[in-house]
Structure 1
C-alpha cells in the first residue's frame, strides 16, 4: 500500500466513524465516548498526512508514533462503547477491525523507520 492509498484509507476510516456516531442516540455517556472516538479517528489521517510532510526522519517517526497511538486509542473507545452496553458490538465490529489493522500498519511503519534511522 502506497502513501496515497493509506491517506485515502485513513480518511475513509474517519468518515466511517463520523457516519457511525451520527446514528447513535444521545445521552451523557454516549456523547463523551462519541467525542473521544471522533477526535482519535480523525486524528489518524491528519497526523499521517503531517508525517508524510515531515521535515526529517526524526520528525516523520515522531508523527507516526502519534498516528499509532491515535489508532490504538480508537480501539479503546470502541471497546468501551461495546463493553458498557451502550452500543451493540455488531455495530462497532468493522470499525474495531479497521482500527486494529491501522494500528498494526503504523506500528510496522514506525518500527521500519526507526530501524532505518539507526542504519
Structure 2
C-alpha cells in the first residue's frame, strides 16, 4: 500500500458522513432541497481531489484543488443553513462543520504549497 494521503482519506470519510447525513435528512426530516445541495457539494470535494491526482500539469492540479476548495466552502454554507433552520442537530452540525473546516484548511495548505513550488513562479 502507498503512503498515507490525508486529503484523500479525509475527503472520502467526509463524503460518507455527508451521504449518511443526506439519507437522514431525507428519510427522517423530509428535507429534500438543501440536503441534495449538501450531498452534491460535500461529495464533490473528494471527487475533485481524485481528478487532481490525475492532473495534466501543476496548473491543472492547482485549478482542480481550487474547485474542491470552493465546494468545501459551499458545503459549510449548506451545513450552516441546515443547522440554522433546525434540520441539523447541534452535535451533527459541529462534527460535520469541524471536518469540513479541517478539509478546507488542508486543501488551502496544499494549494499554497503547490503554488510556491510551481516552476516560473
The CA RMSD measured in Å over matched residues stands at 1.6
Cα distance in 2, alignment partners of residues 9 and 100 from structure 1: 11
Deviating 4+ runs (over 4 angstroms): none
SS of structure 1 residue aligned to 2:55: coil
Gaps of 5+ in 1: none
Pairwise CA distance, 1:104: 0.5
Aligned residues between the structures: 116
Gaps of 5+ in 2: none
1:11 matched to 2:12: yes
Cα distance in 1, alignment partners of residues 70 and 21 from structure 2: 21
Pairwise CA distance, 1:26: 4.4
* Aligned pairs for 1:1-119 within 5 A: 4-24=5-25, 25-27=28-30, 30-117=31-118, 118-119=120-121
**Gap change, CA 1:105 and 1:50, over 3 Å in 2:** same
Q: Quick check: 2:7–2:107 contact (8 Å CA) kept in 1?
A: no
More helix by share: 1
Q: TM-score, normalised by structure 2?
A: 0.87
Per-residue CA distance 1:57-105 (angstroms, 9 max, x = gap): 1000100101111111111100000111222222221111000000011
Q: Quick check: 2:22–2:36 contact (8 Å CA) kept in 1?
A: no
Cα distance in 2, alignment partners of residues 3 and 48 from structure 1: 15
Cα distance in 2, alignment partners of residues 5 and 110 from structure 1: 14
SS of structure 2 residue aligned to 1:23: helix
